[in-house]
Structure 1
């Protein structure tokens, strides 16, 4: 399997892992800032443990080797997490998710502006089809939503897209230290608003599992984005949108609406089409 195939598998796995966030948010009854604090802390520790296991004595040098690009990626990830939480507090989940679904387009634009890279027509077309599937999913949702919350959701989308472009632009540089640092940085950013000593032992154990889920998803995304284009990574990541309701349905028997089934099928079909046509282009030697 080539590096492109490995990248697709890793990013797809990341989307599946991230989709499990819904059940955790249902099970953990704490304020959002405290959840973000411990989620970032445990997520950062999870990735740090992976780095220590894989790099051994070179762990410190790995952090030193991430350079300015790694610091920039970590900052984008941490700020994106904070914007995401604030967006959810000020706007509807439907609005925030729908705005984030524009990530493939935003990422393609950032890659073109910063690096002069243009995506294939097939990938851009698949991103447009995936976006239409998201519109179907949230077609029956309330159209309201606070303006500031929507702006924060857009800022989060731009920040995460920028992070993906930075990672893809530095394939020879390990960005795992940046992923770990972003978890700790998000915890530091929300610390003034959080109540880290309020969780019980049971809640802390659940937060640790939630942090490990976040850390694993970020680890897979960071590894996979190095091997495929940033836009394709964002496109595959849109699988999280239809998979999220499925995870809640499996955990709590909460049946998604019919629009969720239809829109989810469109998103999945768009991602699969891009993967299949991309493989054909590579075999034919086309861009």
Structure 2
């Protein structure tokens, strides 16, 4: 092999420029879904009747976490610069995340968790369609198949809990969550050069203001303060930071697809922490979702390795 061929082979066998970013994006979005999945277990332990009080404190603690993280990472001047440069895309993402987090807490008072989870199953499909329309992202047949498998799996998970009565407000808010979350995913991917951590921070600041204005009272017990801190800083703040960072590194459909691991892990934590044994259909549907996601990720890994194979001499 001559020197020119050796150099060419070295370039081809070396990691692709975006390979590390894509891997980090997958890990970050998966981590966000894992963190978000603790939300049901934390909320189950709260003894707060007013949803706006929960929204106010949850958003406040999330804002403190995100501001502290940016100040530690970027310093005061860098943090101010991030807010100034996020532009309209950042404001749009902030509004999307604020709408989703507020709607989630309010919707729990009108409809079942099962109905909300079922709507969330549609997020990958909505994100894929928005990505095709606005980003011209090609979605292959394997990804479409994984999306449909995820929707079917979550449908099986929640099929035991369907109620005869349909709440227009609750189910409408659940649909809003799915749409705005998918939109935030696509915007984050479209403007991948813009750091979206300040955007999600602005989103929880909006949630704090809305919660404080509409709350009937902000005084809660010391135990609830602790749980609300976890609900805000860990579940909401850390999860949003990881998702906003990772979603700009991978296709919109894949980011939304991986995030559906949240309703898969959620019942497991409630089972382990609160001794609520999941129904057989929950386990079956969760297994379907998990298998679809793992299969899709392994397929992508296989294709990336094929792309990186050296050319024959």
TM-score by length of structure 2 reads: 0.87
**Aligned equivalent of 1:122, options 142, 153, 169:** 142
Native 8 Å contact 2:67 2:201 kept in 1? yes
Q: CA deviation at 1:97?
A: 1.2
Which 10-residue stretch deviates more, 134-143 or 192-201?
192-201
Q: Which contiguous aligned blocks of 4+ residues in structure 1 show a shift greater than 6 angstroms?
A: none
**CA shift digits 1:198-244 (9 cap, x unpaired):** 21333222211221121011111111101111111111111111210
Tell whether 2:244 aligns with 1:222: yes
Taking the TM superposition and a 5 Å limit, the aligned residue runs for 1:140-179 are 140-144=160-164, 145-179=166-200
Tell whether 2:104 aligns with 1:90: no
Q: Counterpart in 2 of 1:244?
A: 266
Q: What is the distance in 1 between the residues matched to 2:207 and 2:220?
A: 18
**CA shift digits 1:129-186 (9 cap, x unpaired):** 0111111111222243212322221111110110011111111111100011111111
Q: What is the distance in 1 between the residues matched to 2:143 and 2:306?
A: 16
TM-score by length of structure 1 reads: 0.95
Tell whether 2:31 aligns with 1:13: yes
Q: What is the distance in 2 between the residues matched to 1:111 and 1:89?
A: 32
Q: CA deviation at 1:196?
A: 4.8
Taking the TM superposition and a 5 Å limit, the aligned residue runs for 1:1-287 are 2-30=20-48, 31-56=50-75, 57-144=77-164, 145-213=166-234, 214-285=236-307
Native 8 Å contact 1:36 1:187 kept in 2? yes
Q: In angstroms, what is the RMSD of aligned CA positions?
A: 1.6
Native 8 Å contact 1:38 1:196 kept in 2? no
Native 8 Å contact 2:153 2:288 kept in 1? yes
Which 10-residue stretch deviates more, 111-120 or 237-246?
111-120
Q: What is the distance in 2 between the residues matched to 1:206 and 1:87?
A: 20
Gaps of 5+ in 1: none
| Larger gyration radius, structure 1 or structure 2 | 2
Partner of 2:161, secondary structure, is coil
Gaps of 5+ in 2: 1-18, 309-313
Aligned residues: 286
